[in-house]
Amino acid sequence: MSVFEGLRFRKVYSPIHSLDPRIKFIYVIVIFVIAIIFWQVIPLLILFFMQLPFVLLARVQKQWLRSLRGAAFLATFIFLLNILATYISSGFVLLAFDFERAFALTLRFVVLVESFSVFFLTTSPDHLGLALEETRVPYEFAFAFTTAVRFVPVLAEEAQTIMDAQKARGLELEKGSLLKRIRNYVPVLIPLIVSAIRRSLELAEAMESRAWGATKKRTNLYSLRLHRGDFALIAIIIGIIIVAAYVYIYFFASIPAITQFLQL
C-alpha cells in the first residue's frame, strides 16, 4: 500500500505550490542554463543553495532530500569517472584542482536534479495539466496527462489485488531463474491488461456521454492568472539573469577556485 501512496497526489497549499507553473518552469530552465554555462565550484554552490528557500517555503524538504539521495549514486559515479578520466589523460598524476573540477561537474548534475525536483515536488499534476491546457498544447495531450495521473494509482492497486489473488491460488512469483520469474508474471499481466481495456472502454463511454468533442472551442473551469508571487518570481528570475550575465561577461575568468583559497 505504501508504494501506491507515493503515486497518489495530494493537494498541498504553500506560497510555492500556488505559483504559476509556467513561471516556475521558466525559473527551472534559467537555473538549468546557468548551471551549464558555469563550471566553477563557487557559482554552482550558490545555485545549489539558492533553491533552499524554495524547498523550505514549500515545506517539501523531506521529499527533496529523498530525491537528492536518489541522485547520490549517479553523482558518485560521475565524480569517480571524472577523476579516473583526468588521472589517465594527465599521465597518472592528480592535482588538487582536478578534484575540484570533478566536484564541480558533479555539483552541476546535482543542481540540475535539484531544480527539476523542486519544480515537480511543488507543482501539483492538476496545476500542470491546467498549464498544458493554457499553453497551446492540444487538449487531448493535457487530458491524457491528467487521466494518466488519475489512473496510475488505480491500476497499481489493481495489479496488487491480482497478484494477491494469483498468489492465493498458488502462483509463485519469486521462484526460479530470471526467465522463469518473468514468465511467472504472465498470469498477472493478462488480467491486468484485460481489465485496463475494459476500463478504458467505460471511460470512453462516460466521456462521450458528457459531450466530449461537442465543440472545437473548449472552455475551462479554471484559468491561470498571475498573482503577486508570480511577479515576485519573475523579478527574481530577471535578477538572476542580470547577475549571471554580469558575472559571465566581466569576471568569468577570475572566479576563484576553492583550491586557491586553501593554498593561501
Distance of closest approach, residue 160 Cβ to another protein, in angstroms: 14
Burial environment of residue 107 by CB neighbours within 10 A (0 to 12, 13 to 18, 19 or more): buried
* C-beta of 79 vs 143, nearer to another protein: 143
* C-beta of 114 vs 133, nearer to another protein: 133
* C-beta of 6 vs 176, nearer to another protein: 6
Neighbours of 153 (CB within 10 A): 16
Distance of closest approach, residue 218 Cβ to another protein, in angstroms: 5
Q: Are 224 and 131 in contact (CB under 8 A)?
A: yes
* C-beta of 170 vs 213, nearer to another protein: 213
SS3 105: helix
DSSP secondary structure letters along 141-196: HHHHHHHHHHHHHHHHHHHHHHHHHHHHTT--SS-SSHHHHHHHTHHHHHHHHHHH
Distance of closest approach, residue 6 Cβ to another protein, in angstroms: 13
Distance of closest approach, residue 141 Cβ to another protein, in angstroms: 14
* C-beta of 59 vs 150, nearer to another protein: 150
Distance of closest approach, residue 192 Cβ to another protein, in angstroms: 15
* C-beta of 53 vs 138, nearer to another protein: 138
* Residues making contact with another protein (CB under 8 A): 8-11, 124-126, 129, 143, 146-147, 149-151, 153-154, 199, 202-215, 217-223
CA torsion sign, 121 to 124 to 128 to 134?
A: negative
Distance of closest approach, residue 18 Cβ to another protein, in angstroms: 13
Angle of helix 21-37 relative to helix 125-134, nearest 10 degrees, comes to: 90
**Kind and range of the H or E run holding 111:** helix 96-122
